[in-house]
């Protein structure tokens, strides 16, 4: 990760509304969520792709050369495009990156979320050595 989210207190205030992930131009971009493509195309010379999840929040990825179209249903992990090559004056200069933002609501009800909070860590339970093999597992607690 090149840069973390710095979310504004209000939708119109300044801030960094997402995370910047290290990515090379031409690298495959995967859908971070299952949903419907609701926006795709250029904004200020950058390819932008937005996917609305069934719960209503919207994931936006940029700069992306999209391989999907508005109205397409996509599944989490599905390739949806490639990282667009950018000029040196771009968002993550002098390197390239993929910006991933998440928001819910619209207008004055817009709320931005840190995308990293949506990643569910995989929980793995490991056996505790000796647990359950004897009744006497150690000194009594008084």
Q: In the predicted model, what is the mean pLDDT of the chain?
A: 85
- What does the chain look like in DSSP terms, one character per residue? --B--B--SSTTS--B-SEEEE--TT-EEE-SS-EEEEEEEEETTEEEEEEEETTS-EEEEESEEESS-TT-EE-TT-EEEEEPP--TTSTTTTS-EEEEEEEES-GGG-EEE-GGGG--PPP---PPTTTTT-S--SPPP-
Q: What is the spatial distance between Cα 88 and Cα 123, in angstroms, rounded to a whole number?
A: 40
Q: CA triplet 131, 135, 140: central angle to 5 degrees? A: 95
Residues 68-115: tens digit of each pLDDT: 999 999 999 999 999 998 754 467 777 789 999 999 888 878 888 899
pLDDT of res. 38: 96
Q: Which CATH class is domain 19-107?
A: mainly beta
pLDDT of res. 126: 78
What number is the average pLDDT over the span 34-47? 90
The residue that leads in pLDDT, 12 or 74, is: 74
Domain boundaries, the chain: 19-107
Q: Could you tell me if 96 and 83 are in contact, meaning their C-beta atoms sit under 8 angstroms apart?
A: yes
pLDDT of res. 19: 93
In the chain, % of residues over pLDDT 90? 43
């Amino acid at each position: 990760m090149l840069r973390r989210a710095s979310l504004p207190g209000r939708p119109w205030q300044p801030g960094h509304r997402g995370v910047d992930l290290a990515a090379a131009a031409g690298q495959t971009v995967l859908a971070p969520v299952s949903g419907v493509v609701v926006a795709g195309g250029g904004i200020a010379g950058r390819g932008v792709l937005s996917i609305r999840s069934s719960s209503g929040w919207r994931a936006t990825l940029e700069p992306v050369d999209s391989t999907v179209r508005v109205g397409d249903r996509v599944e989490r992990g599905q390739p949806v495009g490639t990282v667009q090559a950018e000029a040196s004056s771009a968002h993550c200069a002098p390197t390239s990156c993929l910006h991933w933002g998440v928001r819910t609501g619209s207008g004055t009800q817009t709320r931005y979320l840190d995308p990293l909070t949506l990643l569910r860590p995989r929980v793995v339970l490991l056996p505790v050595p000796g647990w359950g093999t004897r009744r006497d597992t150690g000194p009594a607690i008084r």
